[in-house]
Structure 1
């Protein structure tokens, strides 16, 4: 194995063990904080059972995207489009592609996200806005 690959693997291992050490430190701090909180609760309610409080888990909404996923989706829609499309039309197609519930709230959120992607890609000279139709610009891919 070459020295470059060996050094890269060593760096990656050091990075991962550092992350594990930080996670262990965070876990120890959280455990101590939880013990202190439980003791404080017992001061106010001596018969308090800590296990009676279920953990609250954060689950992201289905409308969230992974990094770069929204940009790829918007650009692929514009690549196959026959002509310019509005921000709202692109957002409606993404909602349909993802199988999300087609209500006004989701469509508004997705329109804002698509608009942000399109403005970002306009600054990178990948798309251009043609004209405004109502509230939304018409967009097309730069060819």
Structure 2
């Protein structure tokens, strides 16, 4: 078979695996909800579940203040070699369960990674140098014991 066909078959298998995992998670959540509803009915047999509010979930890739930079620091702590912005971008995307083959998303995340690393460089926590003749940078931790401050998005503790 041709390499393209093999790649498409692998991609299809990945998508089917994701769908199966989501179905399994949905089945588990339905069972949990059923158990919770039964427990609520013990305390209030006349409860009306249709009138209950539904809590909106935060976006799956939301990060609290400083979380993104702390995540990058951990990635840099785990390696003694210089790492490119692209390598760190892929690690972030894998960590957040994003499709690292989605080029538009990869560009967006690479920009976020670059900005976060630039902020860390200004704090003298990381150092950068050019990787070859292009614009690609490599990064290395300069203060392994660096800890960042930060709480929720609004800055409160």
- For Structure 1 versus Structure 2, the TM-score category normalised by the shorter chain is 0.5 to 0.7
Pairing 1:20-39 to 2, within 5 Å after superposition = none
What's the TM-score, normalizing by structure 2? 0.50
CA–CA distance in structure 2, aligned partners of residues 101 and 61 of structure 1: 16
How many residues align? The count is: 87
Gaps of 5+ in 2: 1-55, 144-157
SS class of match (2:128): strand
**Inter-partner Cα distance in structure 1 for 2:109 and 2:62:** 9
Shift of 1:131: 2.0
The structure that is helix-richer by fraction is 1
Specify the structure having the higher radius of gyration (Cα): 1
Query: Alpha-carbon deviation of 1:61?
Result: 4.4
Give the alignment's Cα RMSD to 1 decimal: 2.1
Provide the rounded CA distance (Å) in 1 between the counterparts of 2:105 and 2:58: 14
Q: 1:112 to 1:104 in 2, by over 3 A?
A: same
Query: What CA distance in whole angstroms lies between the structure 1 residues aligned with 2:58 and 2:111?
Result: 18
Larger RCO: 1 or 2 (CA < 8 Å, sep 6+): 2
Alignment of 1:32-71 (within 5 A): 61-71=59-69
**What is the distance in 2 between the residues matched to 1:62 and 1:101?**
13
CA distance in 2, matches of 1:122, 1:69: 16
1:137 corresponds in structure 2 to 137
Offset from partner CA, 1:27-80 (integer Å, 9 cap, x none): xxxxxxxxxxxxxxxxxxxxxxxxxxxxxxx97643332211100111110111
Structure 1 match to 2:92: 94
1:65 match: secondary structure: coil
